[in-house]
Structures are given as C-alpha cells and as structure tokens.
Amino acid sequence: MAEDDTQPQVGAMESARAAGLWDRLGRIAYGADYNPEQWDEATWAEDVKLMAGAGVNLVSLAIFGWAALQPERDWFEWSWLDRVMDMLADASISVCLATATASPPPWLVTAHPQILPEDADGHRLWHGSRQHFCPSSRIFREHAGRLVEAMAARYGSHPALAAWHVGNEYGCHVSRCYCDESAGAFRAWLRDRYGSLDELNAAWSTSFWSQRYSSWDQIIPPRRAPTFPNPSQQLDFSRFSSDALLGCFRHEADIVRRVTPDVPVTTNFLGIFKPVDGFAWADEEDFVSHDSYPDPADPDAAVGAAMAFDFMRGASGGKPWLLLEQAPSAVNWRDVNQPKPAALYRLWSWQAVAHGANGVLSFQWRASRGGAEKFHSAMVPHGGADHPVYRQVAELGRELAEHPELAATEPGRAEVALLFDWASWWALELPSRPSTRLSLLDLARAYYEPLWRAGLPVDLVRPGSDLSGYRLAVAPNLYLLGADAAGQLARWVQGGGHLVTGFFSGIADENDRVYPGPYPGALRELLGVTIDQFWPLGPGDDVRLRLAGQQAGTGRCWSEEIRLHDATAAGWFDGGPLDGRPALATAERGRGRASYCGTLPDAATLAGWLAGAASNAGLTPLLERTAHGIEVQRRLGEGLEALFVLNHDTTRRAVRLAGHWEPAVGPAPQGLELDLGPRELAVLRRGTGNQASPRRNA
C-alpha cells in the first residue's frame, strides 16, 4: 500500500512531526517542567521574566494539573492554563503540553475506587500520592480520555503548543497491577497472543507442577504464591504490564493525534527502565524523551548516564531526542541527596546534547513550598533569582542559545550496537535460575564501559533489528533469544558482522523454554561452542583466567564447562574445577566472526578483548589518544561536524586530536592538543563538504 503522506509516520526513527519541532525550536531547547498551579498569578509574571533571563524556550506544562483543570467531574477550569499558555506564547516560549493524567484527582478515586491499583498481595495502593491508577482500568482510561479530549480541543491551535507530553514516567511507581480487572485484561492479552488454551499450556509448560488450564477464567496474574510462580506466566505478565501501560499512552496519544495531527507526541522514559519495554514505546512516539538523574556523589555516574543516552539514540535510530528532566542540583529521593556542583550541571547537560539530545530540561522550574518534592532542587530555588543555582542555570541557557547550529546536527547511528532486550531481561532475572546474581544492567554496563572509555560510540538496539551499518555487535547477555532473531544474527555475521556474546545467551526461546539439545541452543552453531554445565560463582569466588599471549585475568559471577566444536579458544580457566577448559572462544563465520565469553572478565581483560574485537571489525575510536574520564561523541549536519570532548574527571586532562578543529564551546585546541580542566568540556567544529562520514577519525 502506498504511504499516505498526509499521515506522517509515527516512531522516533522517522517522525516528520519531530523534525518540525526541532525546526520550530531552532536551537538546543532549554527549560523545565513548569507547574504554575502551585503559584499565584504575580509569580507567573515573574516566572516568565526569569525564564527569558535564563534562555528558556521550552517548558513541559501541567504534568500534575488534573485536579486543578477538572476540580469536579463536570467542572473544567481552564482560566489559569489559558492565561499561562498566553503568557508563554507572548514570551516566545514553546510548550510541551502534558495531558495531565499522571495523578488522578481525589474526586475520581472516591467515586470509582476500583481504578486504584493492587499489588501482588492484593493490597490496594491509595490516593494521596501520585500515579495511583490501574493501567487496565477502563474507568481511568475513560476519564483520562475525557480530559485529554477537552485539552486537545482547547489548546490544539494555541500558538504556544509545540508537542504533547502524554502521562508522565509510565510505570515509575506502579508498573503492574494484580487486581481483578487486570486479571481480565491479562486473559484477553493472552488469548490474543496464543489463540487457544492448548497453545498457552504448551508455551507455559503447564504440564509441570499440575498447572494445566482448562478454562481461560482459571488464569490469574502471578499473585503471591507458595513458591516460584510459573516463569513463563511471569514473563508474559511483564510483557502484558508493559503493554497495559503502553495502552494508556496509546489511548491518549490517539486522541491528541486525531485533534492535532501535526503536533509531535512523546512521553518521558526513566532511562533504561525494566518495567517498560523502551523499544516498543519508541516505536509509538514521535520522539523519545528521557529523565536523567545520575547521582553527583557517584564518581562513575557519567558512564551509566551515557549508556541510557545511547539507548535513547539507538531507539531513535540516530535521530535527536529530548532530555525532558534532570535535576539542576540535588534530588530529594535518595537517602542522602548531595547538590550537583555547577560544573557538573553544565557538563552533564552538554553530555546529553553530545549523545543526541536536542533539548535540556529540568525538573522543575520553581522549587515548591510544600508537598513531597519541596527539597528537590529547581531552576529557581527557594532562594530566588539571586541564588547561585539560578545564576548557573541562566549561564547554561545563554551558552546553549549561542549555538543554534548544533540543533541542525544529528547524532547519527554509531558503528557499535549493544544488543539489549527487555523480554530477555525480564526472564533472566526471574528466580529459579542457575544464579540469582545476574543483573542485565550490570552485565550491559560491564561491556559498555570499556567501549565508552575507548571513544567508540555505541547504540543500544534490540536483537532482530536491522544491523546493517553496524560493524560490531556486543550482546552482554541474551538469555532469551527467538529463533528468528538468532538466525538474523547469524546471517549478519556471515555477511561480515563481528559479534561478541556473553555467557548464558541463546538458552531459552520466547516462552522461556530451553532450546532442546546442548546449550546454547539458539547460538550453538554460530558460536561453535557446547556448554555442558553452568558453574555460577558466588561473591568472592573469582576464577583465574589465562589468556592467549600468556596474560592473566580473572572472571567473576559465572563460569561454565565449555567444549569447542567449531571455534578456537582465546582464553582458559586457570585453576579450580574448570582448570584448562576454554573460557573465551572465537569462530570465523563467512566474512565475519563470532566471539563468546563464558565468564564476566575483570575490567582490564574485558577492555582488551573488546578492543581486539573492535579493531578486527575495522573500528577506529573518535580520538587518537584519550585519557581516563574523557568522553568523546560526535554530531553531524549538512556541512558541519561537531566533536564533543568531555572531561568527567576531577583532574586536568590533555587529549590529542587527529585533525584540526575550531573551538565552539570551551577551550580552543593548541594545534592537535586539547587541554581540559576538571569537569570541563569543549565542543569543537569543522566544516565538511557535505554530510561527514561517521567513519573518519577525529
């Protein structure tokens, strides 16, 4: 069917609506969540003045505004929002307008207590906080829809409206509900997935422990049970719960898209967040948005933040995304909440831009006087505009505004793909596995970090997606891998791709059933290894490794009995019950290569192994010579290439560039040397004849 060009594609990878938003904003956007319902009108006037002073050009408005917009069932109160929208439009500040449905008002809950969610023990979660709705509640969706319909009708053609912010951080507090209505929705979802009970019984292996279902009504969510609930049931409940929340998003997104077909739609992710399958959501957004809250007290916080940014970039297919929330200084929800020094606020904001953010927004604009977040920092702190935090905020606003050319660049795709899959994550971390010490995020981070430190940009992508254009794919763990995705991976390697795979991958199918035959079923032919038994390691049970070239290393978390049937050993276990057995293996396949590691090597060993894989894959880092704590990223545009060099360390660092660059932000290079102070950054630029090649060394 021919594409209807009056209906632009949805999906963060290709939305024309998102492109329109970036054009409208015209520079890296800057702003905050704005919650004017907490303040009087005189304060709004001051807010708009201070926003102008801070270079704010985008706010996300009315996220928790439901009770103020609809104080009673049949009373909509638009006057305050009308006024605020007009004031913002007059000040040329664009609005990412929330659908305001993230916290249902007390009147709704009191009239319909069945919209409240229930936990696995059957306890109801009450109102008086936020996000107290069952994702499957029809009454909740009906009322949310009524509000959104009215919002879209009222503000759809308002000049300030630039984008829709649907809901807020779906799943943040309540990611799954076990109530009877959810049980019914779960059954409907299962009928849709399996078609028949026979299929479901087979997929869930219900012949085990006498769990066979003879009627759909017998199926319930995995509520509290005497011991391990059926793992396939739990996996499907994770899938269902992500889909139920996505259903809430879709319900509201459909309404605003019908009323305002040209206005892009987003919702904010909590980074790489286990309850919500981010890739599936990105397919339904016009652009991806992210809330980033690294801990200023964590010296390595930048690595985790970068990995989340690279999920946003991967999920966006190299298109820009939006940093919709960060903290200007301290948060209030850790046990101990340290302020963020001004240099870190600037550095981490630019870090997001370096990875593809086309806007940097904070939670929230003005610090609340009361409520649960009054000690969370804000762009305008309790101390007002004379406070150092407002001054640092305004400085960054000015700096971002000075470089509109950067908003016309895009991060583009990286050449390294880190394969990451939500279903596999859910299955891996269920109980009753060989080890409960496996955390997908920890494994992913262990593989990501050396690539990040080496200056090799990485996209997080899901297995089964198109890997053409990537030279190296790294799969820290793919416990659960469908046969189609495994086949696609094998074809990609045959065609010249280089794959690095971590232990306990390719073991189970989509229903968490072990592939028949020797491990690792789905990847056995591709990797050329057979695994006879797993030997997971407890805390402190590290094993020694002997690597080709006589180097030594250690492995932790996992070891296993590997036999090579069509691969070459690249490292061995040294000592212990697996002494002399292979630990690392490599297999040549067609024009490519597949490597496997049966443990989690120490950081230096893993870094060396990945560096070898990257160089075999023909990759060159963005910087010729880098230093500890230095991060480098790139964005490309028509005729312009921008290089971002960030020093996350607290000591001065010098790096060497491979070519000549003009300074845009921060210090200028002296010849090929760039000297960066502690937590300092530089944005460098150079012209290109046309679209720069992402393969060139900087």
Per-residue mark of binding to ligand GAL, 345-374 (x: CB under 6 A): ------------------x---------x-
Number of residues in contact with ligand GAL, rule: CB under 6 A? 11
Q: How far is the CB of 168 from ligand GAL (least distance, A)?
A: 5
Q: Tell me whether residue 399 is one of the annotated catalytic residues.
A: no
Of residues 504-543, those binding ligand GAL (CB under 6 A): none
C-beta closer to ligand GAL: residue 305 or 698? 305
Interface of this chain with ligand GAL, residues 317 to 336, rule: CB under 6 A: 325, 327, 331
Characterize 268-290 residue by residue with b for buried, 16 or more Cβ atoms within 10 angstroms of its Cβ, and e for exposed. bbbbbbbbbbbbebbebbbbbbb
Catalytic residue (one of 37, 118, 181, 325): 325
Quote the tokens at residue 89: 């439009």
**Per-residue x/- track, 172-211, ligand GAL (CB under 6 A):** x---------------------------------------
Q: Which residue, 105 or 411, has its beta carbon nearer to ligand GAL? A: 105
Residues near 364 by Cβ (< 8 Å), separated by ≥ 6?
32, 33, 34, 35, 373, 376, 378, 379
Verify whether residue 169 is a known catalytic residue.
Answer: yes
Q: Are strands 543-547 and 568-574 parallel, antiparallel or unpaired?
A: antiparallel
Comparison of 362 and 392: residue with beta carbon closer to ligand GAL: 362
Angle formed at CA 250 by CA 247 and CA 254, multiple of 5 degrees: 145
Structure token digits, residue 331: 């948060």
CA 631 to chain CA centroid, Å, is 19
Cβ-based neighbour number of residue 470 at 10 Å = 23
Task: Annotate 555-596 with three-state secondary structure.
Answer: EECCCEEEEECCCEEEEEEECCCCCCCEEEEEEEECCEEEEE
Q: Distances in Å between the alpha carbon of 621 and those of 261, 410, 695?
A: 42, 19, 9
CA angle in degrees (0–180, nearest 5) for 570-575-577:
100
Site map (CB under 6 A) of ligand GAL, residues 369-398, x = contact: ----x--x----------------------
Query: CB-wise, 1 or 336, nearer to ligand GAL?
Result: 336
Least CB distance to ligand GAL at residue 63 (A): 6
Q: How many CB atoms lie within 10 A of CB 677?
A: 15
DSSP state of 179: S
- Taking the least distance from each CB to ligand GAL, the nearer of 362 and 477 is 362
Which of 425, 500, 467, 381 lies closest to 238 in space, CA to CA?
Answer: 425
Kindly tell me which of 168 and 605 has the beta carbon lying closer to ligand GAL: 168
User: Minimal distance in Å, beta carbon 103 to ligand GAL?
Assistant: 9
Q: Rule CB under 6 A: is residue 293 a binding residue for ligand GAL?
A: yes
Among 252, 291, 641, 680, interactor with ligand GAL by CB under 6 A: 291
End-to-end CA distance of the chain: 43
3-class SS at 476?
Answer: coil
Q: What pairing do the DSSP bridges indicate for beta strands 592-597 and 498-501?
A: parallel
Per-residue contact flags (x/-) with ligand GAL for residues 232 to 271, judged by CB under 6 A: ----------------------------------------
Min CB(55)–ligand GAL separation in Å: 22
Distance CA 52, CA 197 (A): 61
Catalytic residue among 37, 169, 285, 415, which? 169
CB 583 → ligand GAL: shortest distance, Å?
41
- Nearest approach in angstroms of CB 157 to ligand GAL is 28
Please list, in sequence order, all residues whose beta carbon lies within 8 angstroms of the beta carbon of residue 134, skipping any fewer than 6 positions away: 114, 115, 116, 117, 118, 140, 174, 177, 179, 181, 182
Query: From residue 145 to residue 174, what is the string marking binding to ligand GAL with x (rule CB under 6 A)?
Result: -----------------------xx--x--
Residue closer to ligand GAL, measured from CB, 304 or 317: 304
From residue 561 to residue 580, the character string flagging contacts with ligand GAL as x (rule: CB under 6 A) and all else as - is: --------------------
Beta-carbon contacts of residue 232 (< 8 Å; ≥ 6 apart): 203, 204, 205, 511, 512, 513
Closest distance between ligand GAL and the C-beta of residue 172, in Å?
Answer: 6
Residues marked active site are found at: 169, 325
Residues near ligand GAL, by CB under 6 A: 168-169, 172, 291, 293, 325, 327, 331, 363, 373, 376
